[in-house]
Amino acid sequence: MNKKPNIAIVGATGLVGSTFLKVLEERNFPFENIYMMASARSAGKTLTFKGIDYVVEELNEHSFDKPIDIALFSAGGSTSEKFAPIAAAHGTIVIDNSSAWRMDPTVPLVVPEVNPEDIKWNKGIIANPNCSTIQAMLPLKALHDAYKIKRIVYSTYQAVSGSGLKGINDLKNGLAGSNETTAYAHPIAGNCLPHIDVFLDNGYTKEEMKMINETKKILGDDSLKITATTVRVPVFDCHSESINIEFEKPFDLEEAKQLMDNFPGLHVIDDPANAVYPLARDIAGKDEVYVGRIRRDESVENGMNIWVVADNIRKGAATNAVQIAELLLK
């Protein structure tokens, strides 16, 4: 793209949508015009971006009649299913944060530090992976390239902000003593819920299957053996993940730490003797992924355990999408 792009934010009034705006502003993303879109409920409201007020438009079939180069979508799966193809047919490149298009074989699923080359084969829609998948991809790519992963066991500890404002309010109200819930099947305060998204016929949740299938697509390796248990915990921001990995090749632990620390967008914080490891409260608001507790799994031949933390609304959603948009400009 030679000129500054016209951009649209679809779902601009939501939690991820407002973080798109924050991240675009912080990174000084170049643009000619910017359009804020949401549902009819928000039409006419104003949103401030870079000190200028913009009126929110209702998203409809004609929203992309005007020239828009890049649209960042975070307005739910059914909105993306309907409107991303309409936008793409008008020549807009959609970066979609929902799960609607992620596993479509004609749609690249991209983490910019991991598989930036995949954006080249987009046909108008590029999918942003699930938040819990995105953060895992950085250390796993660094290690897979060196030691070839055989099997992954994911166990996640996921923040309530992943459920939007309803999740945040459930935790706030729960901490104030209420047992009423709007986002979850059970109270989240003082609880761990092994239930994220809906249950499927195989007994897994949809969130767990997203992690399994998206990992194979992003790493480009269908032979990977992967299992997952995803858990919602009473934490406001940042997903934490315990990842157990088995490799085909032997590895040197210090070398593995170096590979991860040298990987773009990934930092090692690992000094257990001084109680130093990545913590959700420290990493909230950051754009990078943090890894610690790096140690051998002594129960198998080439096994490793790692602990990975990232801000699920930033790197897990908005920052990753904006990084994809930056790649499109190159």
Site residues (vs ligand A2P, CB under 6 A): 11-17, 38-39, 41-42, 59, 75-76, 79, 164-165
Q: Is residue 192 flagged as an active site residue?
A: no
Choice between 65 and 255, CB closer to ligand A2P: 65
Q: Is 147 exposed, middle or buried (0-12, 13-18, 19+ CB in 10 A)?
A: buried
- Mapped onto helix, strand or coil, the DSSP state of residue 245 is strand
Are the C-beta atoms of residues 93 and 328 closer than 8 Å to each other? yes
Rounded distance, CA 151 to CA 30, Å? 41
Q: Is residue 238 flagged as an active site residue?
A: no
Kind and range of the H or E run holding 151: strand 149-158
Query: Which amino acid is residue 2, in one-letter code?
Result: N
Choice between 165 and 192, CB closer to ligand A2P: 165
Minimum Å distance from CB 206 to ligand A2P?
17
What DSSP assignment string belongs to 284-297? TT-SSEEEEEEEEE
Question: Which member of 62, 131, 192, 195 is catalytic?
Answer: 131
Rounded distance, CA 51 to CA 45, Å? 16
| Dihedral sign (CA 317, 11, 93, 50) | negative
Question: Which member of 186, 192, 238, 239 is catalytic?
Answer: 239
Rounded distance, CA 121 to CA 151, Å? 28
Choice between 12 and 110, CB closer to ligand A2P: 12
Choice between 207 and 246, CB closer to ligand A2P: 207
State the CB neighbour count (10 A cutoff) for residue 10. 30
Minimum Å distance from CB 18 to ligand A2P?
8
Minimum Å distance from CB 170 to ligand A2P?
13
E strand residue ranges, the chain: 7-10, 34-38, 46-49, 52-55, 57-58, 70-73, 93-96, 125-127, 149-158, 225-232, 239-247, 266-268, 289-297, 303-310
Choice between 55 and 329, CB closer to ligand A2P: 55
Catalytic residues: 131, 239
